[in-house]
């Protein structure tokens, strides 16, 4: 380094200067290209190696600012530190601190937008969105993407790993991809907490081994049309009630307790009052053509106020009767509740392009006033009606002798 400092004068810098390096002293140089562009360079030697560090362009970086930067760099070199490495570390920290405002939801939005041209079609993108909204967002939604660690990922996967291994594996892979993308963008650092090999494979069994674990809370998506077809072959009231519960994605108690005054046949709506709902809020159920057909059949033998009367006409059908009917149709140990609701949710998330809030409302789950308000009056109910008809079409394809080609999905309104 030059022994003298401050060799350059401000007035000199404003004049035409020859291309090359013009030393200010202490390792600071003004580099001028043949095109006349000027920039500051700091030269230093560390561990026997000569290096150059850019300080900034002139006049954006003034002479005084360049000297200040060079002074700090010399101090680092004197302390045995590489000023280039230190600067990169500082910038990385600044990016990380700035990323604290990037929430999981923001990262998902940006990731999906960044990959717009890579999706097979719009439905593929929506399926990603549905899966992440249904299983990732409830746990990760309010977290900064840079703060998501292994405990949070495990919290996402634990509830579904043993009951929905295919879905859980898909969720894990998608979370991993988004976190990898976030790291490249500078929104997080460190290892990916959603990686499988050498990490989560120490916590969870492989999805192929999970299938050996006995858990039959719900009939799997691809098995349900056949089970539904067998239910259609039964003339019993219990089988009709199970079909109705599945078609409407309602709880078995809500179906068994259904009353005729709650049904608006003209508008294809079934309105459950607050006192019969888990959340104590009125819930309107849109009825598909198939659901209405079941009610028409029951209307022919109506003997009281109940949609599905028990042996004693003044009492509703028992939940035990519904469970036995599902079992007789090949439902195994699956429950009516799990089949009507969990399987519906999985189908809507994985096999359709309907927004997740539509299926959530169909299940009487809260989606928040702001989300609901984003839809025009009546629009959300129309989308729900389209969703429930698509669900009915899926369920009845086998009983009607139809073949659904691979890749065909429920049509969004």
For the chain, the structural domain boundaries read 10-99, 104-210, 221-396
What SS3 class is residue 259? strand
Burial 205-238 (b: 16+ CB within 10 A, else e): eebeebeeeeeeebbebebbbebbbbbbeeeebb
Any idea of the CA torsion for 156, 246, 289, 133, to the nearest 10 degrees?
0
CATH fold for domain 221-396: hpI Integrase; Chain A (1.10.443)
Interatomic CA distance for residues 304 and 260, integer angstroms: 9
Residue 369, pLDDT score: 61
Q: What are the structure tokens assigned to 377, written together?
A: 């009056």
The DSSP letter of residue 42 is E
What are the DSSP calls for 283-300, one per residue? EEEEPPHHHHHHHHHHHH
Residue range 104-210, CATH number: 1.10.150.130
Please tell me the class of the 10-99 domain: alpha beta
Residue 120, pLDDT score: 72
- How many CA atoms lie within 13 Å of 245's alpha carbon, on the beta-carbon side? 31
Interatomic CA distance for residues 285 and 268, integer angstroms: 8
- 221-396 and 10-99 share a CATH fold: no
Interatomic CA distance for residues 39 and 243, integer angstroms: 76
Residue 405, pLDDT score: 38
Residue segments in the chain with a per-residue pLDDT below the cut of 70: 1-3, 96-100, 211-216, 312-313, 368-377, 399-413
Residue 400, pLDDT score: 66
Residue 90, pLDDT score: 84
**DSSP H helices in 54-103:** 63-78, 83-99
Q: What Å distances lie between residue 317 and 237, 261, 276, 312, 339, CA to CA?
A: 8, 17, 16, 9, 18
Prediction pTM value: 0.55
Tally the residues of the chain: 413
What are the DSSP calls for 50-67, one per residue? EEEEEEEEETTS-HHHHH
Interatomic CA distance for residues 170 and 162, integer angstroms: 13
Interatomic CA distance for residues 92 and 187, integer angstroms: 9
Residue 75, pLDDT score: 93
Residue 289 main-chain phi, psi, to 5 deg: -60, -40
Q: What is the pLDDT of residues 180-216, one digit of tens each?
A: 999 998 888 889 999 999 999 888 888 877 754 444 4
What SS3 class is residue 266? coil
Residue 123, pLDDT score: 78
Residue 209, pLDDT score: 76
Residue 214, pLDDT score: 45
């Amino acid at each position: 380094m030059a022994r003298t400092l401050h060799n350059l004068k401000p007035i000199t810098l404003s004049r035409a200067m020859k291309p090359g390096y013009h030393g200010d002293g202490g390792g600071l140089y003004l580099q001028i290209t043949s095109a006349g562009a000027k920039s500051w360079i700091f030269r230093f030697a560390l561990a026997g190696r000569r290096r150059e560090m850019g300080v900034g362009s002139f006049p954006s970086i003034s002479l005084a600012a360049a000297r200040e930067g060079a002074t700090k760099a010399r101090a680092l070199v004197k302390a045995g530190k590489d000023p280039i490495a230190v600067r990169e570390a500082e910038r990385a920290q600044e990016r990380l601190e700035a990323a604290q405002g990037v929430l999981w939801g923001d990262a998902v939005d940006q990731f999906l937008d960044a990959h717009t041209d890579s999706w097979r079609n719009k439905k593929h993108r929506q399926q990603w969105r549905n899966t992440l909204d249904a299983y990732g967002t409830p746990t990760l939604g309010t977290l900064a993407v840079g703060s998501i660690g292994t405990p949070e990922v495990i919290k996402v996967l634990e509830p579904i790993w043993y009951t929905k291994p295919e879905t859980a594996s898909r969720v894990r892979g998608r979370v991993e991809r988004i976190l990898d993308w976030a790291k490249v963008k500078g929104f997080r650092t460190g290892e990916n907490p959603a990686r499988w090999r050498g990490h989560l494979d120490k916590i969870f069994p492989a999805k192929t081994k999970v299938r050996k674990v006995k858990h039959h809370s719900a009939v799997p998506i691809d098995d349900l049309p056949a089970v539904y077809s067998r239910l259609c072959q039964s003339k019993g009231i219990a089988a009709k009630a199970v079909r109705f519960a599945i078609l409407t994605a309602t709880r078995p108690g809500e179906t068994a307790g259904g009353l005729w005054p709650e049904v608006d046949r003209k508008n294809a709506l079934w309105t459950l009052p607050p006192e019969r709902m888990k959340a104590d809020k009125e819930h309107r159920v849109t009825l598909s053509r198939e659901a209405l057909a079941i009610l028409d059949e029951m209307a022919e033998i109506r003997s009281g106020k109940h949609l599905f009367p028990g042996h004693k006409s003044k009492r509703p059908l028992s939940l035990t009767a519904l469970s036995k009917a599902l079992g007789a149709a090949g439902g195994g140990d699956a429950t009516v509740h799990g089949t009507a609701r969990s399987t519906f949710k999985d189908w809507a998330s994985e096999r359709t392009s309907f927004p997740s809030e539509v299926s959530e409302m169909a299940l009487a789950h809260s989606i928040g006033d702001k989300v609901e308000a984003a839809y025009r009056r009546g629009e959300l109910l129309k989308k729900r009606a389209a969703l429930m008809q698509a669900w009915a079409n899926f369920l009845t394809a086998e009983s009607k002798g139809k073949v659904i080609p691979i890749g065909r999905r429920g049509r969004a309104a």
